[in-house]
Amino acid sequence: MKLKKEAVYTKKAPEPGNYSQAVKYNGLVFVSGQTADDVKTGEPVHGSVEEQTRLILTNIKNILKEAGSSLEKVLKVNVYISNIDDKKEMDKVYKEFFSQEIPPARIAMAVKGLDAGLDVEIDVIAYE
């Protein structure tokens, strides 16, 4: 059996740079790191950590839907946040999107210098 790598693209998420919004392989969906970018303008949204998290997870939800998956099928989440003191604010919104009985595995880490001076970036791995 030959396995095939497939790019995922939707207009309901920000345009990717020199990467795919997501890649499907062998029943898994690998969503690229998403920041708070407006889908219509492509511009970064420098709102609160809650606003950025909500926009990011909405974009991820749209990418997963295009891939034939969903937030309920997310296995692993990586959260990158510019200030660990804002983790509580991010978590408030995160719980709205991942409220299932078995939430995904996750890491949340403070990093320096996210793209466009934003505060949050999130990537996920899900299954189809």
The domains of the chain are located at: 6-127
Dihedral, 116, 119, 125, 128 alpha carbons, nearest 10: -80
- CATH number, domain 6-127, options 3.30.1330.40, 3.40.50.1820, 3.30.413.10, 3.40.50.261: 3.30.1330.40
Q: Position 105: which residue type? A: A
How do the pLDDT tens digits run along the chain, 128 residues long?
668 999 999 999 999 999 999 999 999 999 999 999 999 999 999 999 999 999 999 999 999 999 999 999 999 999 999 999 999 999 999 999 998 899 999 999 999 999 999 999 999 999 99
Q: Position 69: which residue type? A: S
Query: Residue 1's pLDDT is what?
Result: 61
Q: What CA–CA distance (Å, rounded) separates 100 from 34?
A: 22
Query: Residue 87's pLDDT is what?
Result: 97
Which string of b and e fits 41-58 if b means at least 16 CB within 10 Å? Answer: eeebbeeebbbbbbbbbb
State the chain's maximal CA–CA distance in angstroms: 48
Q: Report the predicted TM-score, pTM, of the whole model to 2 decimal places.
A: 0.96
